[in-house]
Amino acid sequence: MRRILASVGAAAAFFASAGAYAAQPTPWQLSFQPAATGIMEQIIWFERYSLWFITAITLLVLALLAYCIVKFRASANPNPSRTSHHTLIEVIWTVGPVVILLFLAVPSFQLLTAQYSPPEEPKLTLKATANQWNWDYEYQIDEPLSFNSAMLADEDRAEAGKEDVAAYPRLLAVDNEIVVPVSTVVRVLVTASDVIHAFAMPAFGIKTDAVPGRINEIWFKADKEGLYYGQCSELCGKDHAFMPIAIRVVAQSQYDTWLAAAKSDLTGANRALMAEIEGASKVAAAGN
């Protein structure tokens, strides 16, 4: 318990002092991660909206069961009723569910449509190829940029400059994050090289299978700068649990600088970007 409280406190301290937003799993988490996209905000709204119906229906069924158990128990009704039909009840339990399903179906279809309808043409296209057990990423631009991203081993943290476990959690931190500009529609083409995997980023509200020989397309538009974590969400072998996804959302100017440098020196570009972000966070914290 002390370790859990300590990890929660460390994470809270980091996010309170940092200028950038971030989302990652937390101990004893019961709800979704904080939304970083409009789609995820809609998902959270629909979850809360449908929960009202689920709660009401559950309580109604529980009340009816309790009523029937007490009202029609054998001791109170030694001679069972022979009633076989009741028109009003038939109408209620036919019309009622139809109305409830309509109230659930309309916003559900609206959300589904939004998930497949980007607000504008994507300005950046990435290809994510899943492997056992890491990811290959390709920026499909005039001069393509490709690199591999794998889980960061504890012994490599110091060399990578990622010793802060609150910002770079164990089993979630990677050696090379995806870097994208904020408020930009990004298309992600997802496939796999060996078995079925899945590309999932909870804070963005996106998840799709990575299937060998097939390309699935998803999109996102991150509204907040920060570092976001996801994982492979399809059982893909013995190291399935060690296949994280990390996306760093930055300002357009930071992205442009990183991209120009990454084409010739990815490691140096990542270090420079991290130093700039951490420096800005310290300045913001000092100003507060």
Domain boundaries, given as residue ranges, for the chain: 38-76+85-115, 124-287
Please state, in angstroms and rounded to a whole number, the distance separating the CA atoms of residues 224 and 91: 49
Query: 255: which residues sit within 8 A by CB, 6+ positions away?
Result: 179, 180, 181
Mean pLDDT of 237-246: 95
Nearest to 224 by CA among 206, 247, 258, 207: 247
The DSSP string of 16-77 is HH-SSEEE---TT--SPPPP-BHHHHHHHHHHHHHHHHHHHHHHHHHHHHHHHHHHT-TTT-
Task: Read off the tokens for 221.
Answer: 């538009």
| pLDDT for 227 beyond 60 | yes
Q: Return the pLDDT at 76.
A: 83
Instruction: State the pLDDT at residue 287.
Output: 61
Q: Are strands 206-210 and 178-181 parallel, antiparallel or unpaired?
A: unpaired
Give residue 84's Cα distance to chain centre: 50
Whether 243 and 133 have beta carbons less than 8 Å apart is answered as yes
Per-residue pLDDT at 279: 75
Inter-residue contact 209 to 235 (CB < 8 Å): no
pLDDT of res. 4: 41
Q: Place 284 in a pLDDT band, splitting at 50, 70 and 90.
A: low
User: Among the listed ranges 29-38, 189-198, 221-230, which one has the minimum average pLDDT value?
Assistant: 29-38
User: Does domain 124-287 correspond to CATH entry 2.60.40.420?
Assistant: yes
124-160 tens-digit pLDDT: 999 999 999 999 999 999 888 999 999 999 999 999 8
Please state which of the ranges 46-55, 157-166, 221-230 shows the lowest mean pLDDT: 157-166
Which tens digits make up the pLDDT trace of 76-85? 888 877 778 8
Q: Work out whether strand 206-210 and strand 197-201 pair parallel, antiparallel, or are unpaired.
A: antiparallel
Q: Which of 242, 210, 248 is nearest to 229 (CA)?
A: 248
Confidence band for 21, pLDDT divided at 50, 70 and 90: low
Q: Are 189 and 283 in contact (CB under 8 A)?
A: no
Per-residue confidence band for 5, with pLDDT thresholds at 50, 70 and 90: very low
Q: Span 193-205, mean pLDDT?
A: 96
| Averaged pLDDT, 85-90 | 86
- So what's the pLDDT on residue 269? 94
User: What is the structure's pLDDT at 7?
Assistant: 45
pLDDT of 44 over the 60 cut? yes
Q: In the prediction, which pLDDT does 283 show?
A: 54
pLDDT for the residue 16: 38
